[in-house]
Amino acid sequence: MKRIFGTAAVLLSATLALTACGGGSSSGGNPLDTTSAAPSGSASAAGGGKVLIGSFDFDESVLLGSIYAQALEAKGVQVEEKPRIGSREVVYDQVKSGGLTVVPEYNGNLLAFVDLQNKAATTDEVNTALKEKLPAELEVLDSSPAEDKDSLSITKDAQAKGSLNSMEDLAKVSKTMTVGGPPEFKKRWEARFKEVYGLEFKQWKPTGPTTADAIKDGTIQVGNVFTTDPKMTANNLVALQDPKNIFPAQNVTPLVNKAGANDTVRTTLNAVSAKLSTQSLLDMMQKISVNKDEPATVAKEWLTSNGLG
């Protein structure tokens, strides 16, 4: 995500995590404080405070947050990272309130969050709809070509045995299957799956970041795995086709609090988006997931190689 509605307990724990998260270029202090003065001579948030960059609780989001943070630091912006805050429900509210300045988002899932019934599918359609639907406090900057889409995935063996190539095919057998994904997955998608494809599952399990492994070991038969997840290849999984575009475009797109971002923030993040491709995201995630490199190290290498660090 990647990324999708939780129970009250999930929201409470994520909110508590927000107050405990540290990291980034600064440490200590109130993680929601945006009033700290920037050092003399540096660019800063619009109100004179540091730029607080949040991320969701998965590696790709942490990587993207680190890319944003280091790119801004290279321009003299005072930055503090708040990694692995939790679900979109928590992170979105923090950006809206100004407790966070920036979060790397996925434009399609963001639109589904603010307007679940919107049928926009392409990048341009999604971004046009977002500009209409987002509250006045928020804006999206330029979307990158990099796209990491939600999918319903199964093993290649299951695909072959059941002739399951699409989500339409899955509807024939879904009532015998257990589906897994993030804790928020059922609340976000159950009604839409039934409405668009007639999908009804025997059971829903919150498998979170272990979803791809749970499909491989048979704990679940189908799961919400993202298309740039290296485990798609490692676990011999295949994403089912989505001919009705229930999962819209998912371009990596900065979501910012308007009051907290100045022109330096906007132009720097737009420059990052212009360089970020799906293949580069795949390559970076391979280093993190397979080679076990640190997201900050991978982010620095990418920024340097693209003249942004």
Whole-number average pLDDT of the chain: 86
pLDDT bracket for residue 98 (50, 70, 90): very high
pLDDT in tens, 118-166: 989 889 999 999 999 999 999 999 999 999 888 999 999 999 999 999 9
For position 245, what pLDDT does the model report? 83
Determine the average pLDDT of the residues in 110-124: 92
pLDDT in tens, 260-295: 999 999 999 999 999 999 889 988 998 998 899 999
- pTM for the full predicted model: 0.69
Determine the average pLDDT of the residues in 39-68: 78
Q: Which residue has the higher pLDDT, 297 or 228?
A: 297
Are domains 8-25+44-147+249-305 and 152-239 of this chain identical in fold? Answer: yes
Q: Which residue has the higher pLDDT, 39 or 249?
A: 249
For position 151, what pLDDT does the model report? 93
- List the domain boundaries for the chain: 8-25+44-147+249-305, 152-239
Q: Which residue has the higher pLDDT, 233 or 240?
A: 240
pLDDT bracket for residue 226 (50, 70, 90): confident
d(CA 232, CA 97): 36
pLDDT bracket for residue 42 (50, 70, 90): very low
Q: Which CATH number fits domain 8-25+44-147+249-305: 1.20.1630.10, 3.40.50.720, 3.40.190.10, 3.90.550.10?
A: 3.40.190.10
CATH superfamily of 152-239: Osmoprotection protein (prox); domain 2 (3.40.190.120)
Determine the average pLDDT of the residues in 196-207: 97
For position 247, what pLDDT does the model report? 86
Determine the average pLDDT of the residues in 219-233: 91
pLDDT in tens, 167-187: 999 999 999 999 999 998 999
First vs last C-alpha separation in the chain = 25
pLDDT bracket for residue 45 (50, 70, 90): low
